Amino acid sequence: MRLRRRQTNAARPVVRLLLVLAVAACRRPEPRAVPAAGWDRAAFALQLVRTEYREQTETGDFSGVPPLVAMVDGTRTAVAGPDERARWLDQALVRVRDALLAHAPSRTVARMCTETTAQLAGHGIRLATPRARPDLARGASLYQLACAPCHGPPRGPPPPAAAHLVPRPPRPTESAQTPYELFNRTTFGGAGTPMPSFAETLSEADRWDIAFYLFADRWPPCGEARWPPLPAATLAHLSDADIWRADGWGAAACLRRNFR
C-alpha cells in the first residue's frame, strides 16, 4: 500500500503538467495589435500611390505599377488585424490595388487615396507626430548631409551627380503636402525609385527636423508674428493650403517657423 501511494503521489505533478498543457492548447491566441508604425506605413502607401501613379500615367508607362502594387500588398500585411480599423483599412487598400491593376485614370486613384487618408482619423487611426519641438536649424544641417547630394538645394534643381538616377529626384516638397508626408518619405523611401529609407540612419527626431525645416524654407522670413503659435503635432498634419484657409495668406510664413 505504501508503494502504491508513493507511485500515485509521484504521478500527480505529471498529471498537472498535462492538464496545464491541454488548457493552453485550447486557448485562442491573443489577437495581434497593429503597431503604430503600421498605420503610418498605410498613410505613406496612399501618399506614394497618389503621387507616383499620376507621374507614371502622364507618359503612358505603366511599368512602375507592380512596385506600387507590391507596396500596397506589403502594407495590407503590416496592418492586418482583427479590429474594425484594420478591416476597414484593408478594404480601402484592396480598392486602391484593384484600381492600379485596372490602370484606372490617375484622377480616380488620387481621389481614392486622398479620401481614404482623410478618413483615417475618423476611424480612430492615429498617425505619428513629433515627440519634441523640431529644430529648424538642425534640420537645415541634416538636409545638407543626407538629402542635398541627390536633391540639391531645397528650392533648386538636382545636382549634376543625380543625373544618372531614374527617375530624377524632384524638389523635396514637390509632392509632399504636409511635414508628416515628408517625414514618411524619409522614413519609408520610395517604391521603384532610388529614394532610400532613412529609418535606420536618421533618428525619428532627425526626420522631423528635416521635414519642418523644408516646409519653413518654402516661405520668406516672417514679417509680422501676429498669429499664435500652433503645436508642432498639429502643424505636422497641416498643408500650406490648410493654413491659408484658416488664417489667410502669409500666415504660413510665420506659423511654419513659430510653433510650440
Q: Are the CB atoms for 186 and 198 separated by under 8 Å?
A: yes
Q: Does pTM surpass 0.75?
A: yes
Work out the percent of the chain whose per-residue pLDDT is above 70. 87
pLDDT at 33: 63
Higher pLDDT, 173 or 177: 177
Phi (first) and psi of residue 230, to 5 degrees: -95, 155
Q: Are the CB atoms for 89 and 79 separated by under 8 Å?
A: yes
pLDDT at 9: 52
DSSP 131: S
Residue 223, number of CB atoms within 10 A of its CB: 9
Residues 6+ apart with CB under 8 A from 122: none
As given in the structure block, the three cell numbers for residue 242 are 490648410
The mean of the pLDDT values for the chain is: 86
Residue whose C-alpha cell reads 492600379 in the numeric block: 100
- Evaluate if residue 35 carries a pLDDT over 90: no
Mean pLDDT of 63-82: 92
- In Å, what is the CA distance from 56 to each residue of 39, 41, 106, 138, 181? 26, 22, 9, 35, 20
- In Å, what is the CA distance from 236 to each residue of 4, 24, 29, 52, 129? 74, 45, 37, 22, 7
- Evaluate if residue 22 carries a pLDDT over 60: no
Number of Cα atoms under 13 Å in the Cβ half of residue 78:
18
CA angle in degrees (0–180, nearest 5) for 141-203-257: 50
CA distance 224 to 50: 35
Of 24-28, 135-139, 148-152, 199-203, give the lowest mean pLDDT range: 24-28
Per DSSP, the residues of 203-254 read: -HHHHHHHHHHHHHHTSPPPS---SPPBPHHHHTT--HHHHHHHH-TTHHHH
- Evaluate if residue 247 carries a pLDDT over 90: yes
DSSP 123: G
Per DSSP, the residues of 58-106 read: TTT--TTHHHHHHHHHHHHHHT--SSHHHHHHHHHHHHHHHHHHTT--H
